[in-house]
Chain A
Amino acid sequence: NFMLTQPHSVSESPGKTVTISCTRSSGSIANNYVQWYQQRPGSSPTTVIHEDNHRPPGVPDRFSGSIDSSSNSASLTISGLKTEDEADYYCQSHDSGNVVFGGGTKLTVL
């Protein structure tokens, strides 16, 4: 099975743009869709991006997702950062029916 590696933490100022990466250890990132979840303290995760780059209803268009085959990674980009975006973010994919989560990235908006 493969692993998804995320930076442990990122920080940026309100109004700025931040990108969180998610690198797949083996197999092509393009082979299986990537989802991104936001988890605020004390809450269950919620989807901010599904199937690489689709936003669920209600998720602001400040959130976008992409994949890059050259680096075998997926990225979550949040523009116009707001303090409410401060949370943990997890990427997730699958392979042969097995689900894999990344280790999570703590986003601090300061």
Chain B
Amino acid sequence: QITLKESGPTLVNPTQTLTLTCTFSGFSLSTTGVAVGWIRQPPGKALEWLALIYWDDDKRYSPSLKNRLTITKDTSKNQVVLTMTNMDPVDTATYYCAHRGMVRGDFEHWGQGTLVTVSS
């Protein structure tokens, strides 16, 4: 059974850096073809893809946010970490991590999401 869970601060001050951790089980991020992504959703708005990291450490970022994002993995801890710099109130959203398997092209499994509010 594959599970993912996001963790991190619920409140961030403007201009601060956000660090979120996705802790997963039921799969290995060293398995060929596997990837973990981050997606966010502002309240009442649409899903927005942020970043993706592959089993071979290839990394992809949203073109509109790439200057602010860093994604890393720790295979031994079964964790993926996303950092986002220079947080702004418009970055208030629920942040999800999701697993993309080696066979299908969709995000097959999602975490429950974590709401991050940016406010002073």
Give A contacts to B, CB under 8 Å: 1, 33, 35, 37, 39, 44-47, 50-51, 54, 56, 90, 92, 94, 97-104
Contacts and interface: CB of A to CB of B under 8 A. Distances in A.
B106 A47 contact: yes
A54 B108 CA distance: 13
Given A45-B47, A90-B46, A104-B46, A97 B52 contact: yes
Nearest to A102: B46
Interface string B102-113: 001111101111
A106 B44 CA distance: 11
A38 B48 CA distance: 15
A99 B110 contact: no
Contacts of A45: 47, 96, 107, 110
B39 interface: yes
Contacts of A92: 47, 49, 106-107
Interface of A: prevailing SS: strand
Given A50-B105, A99-B52, A101-B39, A44 B112 contact: yes
Q: Which of B47, B62, B110 has the most CB of A within 10 A?
A: B47
A71 to B, nearest CB: 22
20 contacts: A35-B105, A35-B106, A45-B110, A47-B104, A50-B104, A50-B106, A50-B108, A51-B106, A56-B108, A90-B46, A90-B47, A92-B47, A97-B52, A97-B60, A98-B60, A98-B63, A99-B49, A99-B60, A102-B46, A103-B46
